[in-house]
């Protein structure tokens, strides 16, 4: 159960993205004050694009950013479906962040399981260099699909129950994806969901009321110890608000 959990409903995607920018900067400031760097995990899909575009317009201490992904479609970065490609086009290609501080998920190996193991190892080495045995990201950005999936943790798939790896292979309609595992996401200091669109309403109802079976609505599995924030637009968040 998160120490702090809140739901904010914003009028539309643009105001949701502006609020997400504010929270991202808040979490960055906390991380820099405490540890001198900001370890952020990016979400894929379409919802976060407007946030990334806003970030590209900011003058932030980019040299303190270390950017990771929460999941990736198993395609090259120049493929239209690539989460890495979307984030680079919307944000990362427009700011002076050191290239070595961007850690894309590898999607060039023939076997996605090998790629998952490689990213696991990359995370292990990175966090061990910070004297941490496991990843403790400062901020994990997540979306949620109409079926209640998040990252590439899809309903009734083996990925939901992987606890001995930081990264595993998810699957959407037979297509492989790479995804952080539930324990890694839950070890983050702050998890921020960005959910927009009427097609998310039903799944939200199952997730936020904690009634839906977590295997059927994997976003329910996301219960970080510290901070969990849901930013919803009015279409998705009809009737929901902690405010």
Ligand X SMILES: O=C(O)[C@H](O)[C@@H](O)[C@H](O)[C@H](O)COP(=O)(O)O
Choose which of 45, 77, 183, 205 interacts with ligand X (CB under 6 A).
45
Across 74-189, where does the E strand assignment appear?
Answer: 102-103, 139-142, 167-172, 175-180
Binds ligand X by CB under 6 A, chosen from 17, 44, 165, 231? 44
What the block records as the tokens of 185 is 């996401």
Q: Which stretch binds ligand X (CB under 6 A): 18-26, 53-61, 93-101, 138-146?
A: 138-146
Write down the residue that tokens 């009427």 correspond to: 198
- Residue 198 to residue 179: CA distance in whole angstroms: 25
Q: What angle do CA 180, 63, 186 make, to 5 degrees?
A: 25
Q: Which of residues 67-126 bind ligand X (CB under 6 A)?
A: 71, 73, 83
Q: Give the binding range for ligand X (CB under 6 A) out of 60-68, 111-119, 143-151, 202-210.
A: 143-151
**Beta-carbon neighbour count of residue 106 at 10 Å?**
18
Residue 151 interacting with ligand X (CB under 6 A)? yes
Give the Cα separation of 21 and 14 in Å (integer). 11
Q: How far is the CB of 197 from ligand X (least distance, A)?
A: 6
Q: Which of 12, 29, 46, 158 binds ligand X (CB under 6 A)?
A: 46
Q: Which residues of this protein are in contact with ligand X, per CB under 6 A?
A: 43-47, 71, 73, 83, 143-145, 149-152
């Amino acid at each position: 159960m998160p120490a702090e959990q809140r739901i904010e409903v914003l009028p539309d995607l643009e105001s949701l993205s502006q609020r997400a920018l504010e929270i991202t900067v808040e979490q960055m400031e906390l991380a820099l004050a405490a540890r001198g760097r900001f370890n952020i995990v990016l979400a894929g899909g379409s919802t976060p694009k407007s946030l990334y575009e806003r970030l590209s317009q900011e003058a932030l201490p980019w040299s303190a950013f270390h950017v990771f992904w929460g999941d990736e479609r198993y395609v090259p970065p120049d493929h239209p479906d690539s989460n890495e490609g979307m984030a680079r086009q919307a944000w990362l290609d427009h700011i002076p962040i050191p290239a070595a501080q961007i850690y894309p998920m590898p999607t060039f190996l023939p076997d996605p399981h090998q790629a998952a193991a490689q990213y696991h190892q990359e995370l292990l080495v990175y966090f061990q260099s910070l004297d941490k045995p496991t990843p403790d990201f400062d901020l994990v950005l997540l979306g949620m699909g109409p079926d209640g999936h998040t990252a590439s943790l899809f309903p009734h798939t083996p990925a939901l129950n992987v606890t001995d790896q930081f990264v595993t292979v998810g699957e959407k309609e037979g297509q492989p994806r790479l995804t952080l595992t539930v324990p890694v996401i839950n070890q983050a200091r702050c998890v921020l969901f960005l959910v927009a669109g009427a097609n998310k309403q039903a799944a939200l109802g199952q997730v936020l009321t904690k009634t839906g079976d977590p295997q059927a609505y994997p976003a329910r599995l996301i219960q970080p110890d510290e901070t969990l924030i849901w930013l919803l637009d009015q279409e998705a968040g009809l009737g929901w608000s902690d405010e």
